[in-house]
């Protein structure tokens, strides 16, 4: 028997790995009780694709539009008008994925900082919340973000994998925190598992970050490595293990947080979940 409905706030549904069975992925999510999804846009191209996907399932999804730090060197400031146009689409309810990644360093750090600041300025101007990425760059990340936070309606640090000190800094600034299947990884996720009880429930949200971070606690183990929204239940189960609230309360509150943050269609909306056709 399923518990209360869940919301996946970070699913890269525009990824090529979903191209052959995207409708089936969405159907399996619904069957698993994952009733709303936020489709991540991490480049101009993927953000455009995310919007197109949301147009197929407008009763279920909203999109983000942003430039991931991995793509920062490919994004000159002259492309900001193109990003603005995407952010102004009514199906885009958050700016991002944006931030800093000094772990991979796929883009020069100066480019990462430039593109991050440019996106925060644009989000503040348009009144959009931000969907944030930070890995091994906490000091610079907070220094840049702090300049814009007073003018941003809301912000979530997606896929939190950081330290207790980092978490404390986020919570001090009233940021939301997204938890992924990282918490299900007995090798890498032990630290996050100990920190999740410190996150106020009204600041907690859940995500798969599919097709990445397939939870390692799924039984029986899938024969593949592709994550998808139906596996959000595995993340939820571990969160429930380490928190004191009842599972129904955790599900209801994290869903309410996501509905508010991303301006998602209300769960009472009786709109069709079938793909819209043209």
Q: Is 269 among the domain residues? A: no
| Rounded distance between C-alpha atoms, residue 107 and residue 122, angstroms | 21
Mean pLDDT throughout 44-70? 98
Residue identified by tokens 């906490």 is: 138
Sign of the Cα pseudo-torsion (249, 253, 254, 255, in order): positive
Q: Is 275 among the domain residues? A: no
Q: Is 274 among the domain residues? A: no
- Quick check: 161 and 194 in contact, CB under 8 A? no
| Rounded distance between C-alpha atoms, residue 72 and residue 83, angstroms | 13
pLDDT at residue 243, rounded to an integer: 97
Chain-wide mean pLDDT for the chain?
Answer: 95
Q: Considering only CA atoms, which of 149, 231, 131 is closest in space to residue 182?
A: 231
Task: Give the distance, in angstroms, between the CA of residue 93 and the centroid of all CA atoms in the same chain.
Answer: 12
Q: Is 123 among the domain residues? A: yes
| Rounded distance between C-alpha atoms, residue 35 and residue 24, angstroms | 14
Q: Is 267 among the domain residues? A: no
| Rounded distance between C-alpha atoms, residue 112 and residue 32, angstroms | 37
Peptide bond just before 149 cis, omega within 30 deg: no
Tell me: the pLDDT tens digits for 71-94? 999 999 999 999 999 999 999 999
Q: Where are the alpha helices (DSSP H) in the chain?
A: 22-31, 44-56, 80-87, 109-126, 138-148, 164-172, 190-195, 232-242, 247-262
Tell me: the pLDDT tens digits for 166-185? 999 999 999 999 999 999 99
The CATH number that applies at residue 136 is 3.20.20.140
Q: Which residues pair with 177 in a beta bridge?
A: 157, 204
Does residue 3 surpass a pLDDT of 90?
no
Mean pLDDT throughout 19-36? 97
Residues sharing a CB contact under 8 Å with residue 275, sequence separation 6 or more, in sequence order? 23, 26, 56, 57
Q: Is 200 among the domain residues? A: yes
Q: Which residues pair with 133 in a beta bridge?
A: 99
- Quick check: 235 and 181 in contact, CB under 8 A? yes
Q: Is 167 among the domain residues? A: yes
Q: Which domain holds residue 128?
A: 6-262
Q: How many domains does the chain have?
A: 1
Tell me: the pLDDT tens digits for 243-253? 999 999 999 99
DSSP annotation string for 167-184: HHHHHHTT-EEEE-GGGG
pLDDT at residue 4, rounded to an integer: 85
Q: Is 271 among the domain residues? A: no
Does residue 264 surpass a pLDDT of 80?
yes
The greatest distance separating any two alpha carbons of the chain, rounded to the nearest whole angstrom, comes to: 52
Confidence of residue 267 (pLDDT cuts 50, 70, 90): confident
């Amino acid at each position: 028997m399923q518990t209360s409905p869940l919301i996946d706030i970070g699913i890269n549904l525009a990824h090529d790995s979903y191209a052959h069975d995207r409708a089936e992925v969405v159907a399996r999510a619904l069957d698993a009780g994952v009733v709303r999804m936020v489709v991540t846009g991490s480049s101009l191209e993927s953000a455009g694709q995310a919007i197109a996907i949301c147009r197929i399932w407008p009763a279920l999804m909203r999109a983000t539009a942003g430039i991931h730090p991995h793509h920062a060197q490919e994004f000159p400031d002259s492309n900001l008008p193109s990003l603005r146009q995407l952010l102004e689409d009514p199906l885009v309810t958050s700016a991002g994925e944006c931030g800093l990644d000094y772990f991979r360093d796929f883009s020069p750090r100066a480019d990462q900082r430039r593109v991050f600041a440019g996106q925060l300025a644009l989000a503040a101007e348009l009144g959009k919340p931000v969907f944030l990425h930070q890995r091994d760059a906490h000091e610079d990340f907070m220094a840049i973000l702090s300049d814009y936070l007073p003018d941003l309606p809301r912000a979530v640090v997606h896929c939190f994998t950081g330290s207790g000190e980092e978490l404390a800094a986020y919570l001090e600034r009233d940021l939301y925190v997204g938890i992924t299947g990282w918490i299900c990884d007995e090798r890498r996720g032990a630290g996050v598992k100990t920190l999740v009880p410190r996150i106020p429930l009204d600041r907690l949200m859940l995500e798969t970050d599919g097709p990445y971070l397939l939870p390692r606690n799924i039984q029986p183990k899938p024969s593949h490595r592709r994550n998808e929204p139906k596996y959000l239940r595995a993340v939820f189960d571990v969160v429930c293990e380490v928190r004191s609230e009842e599972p129904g309360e955790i599900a209801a509150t994290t869903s309410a947080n996501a509905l508010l943050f991303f301006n998602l269609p209300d769960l009472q909306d009786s709109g069709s979940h079938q793909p819209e056709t043209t």
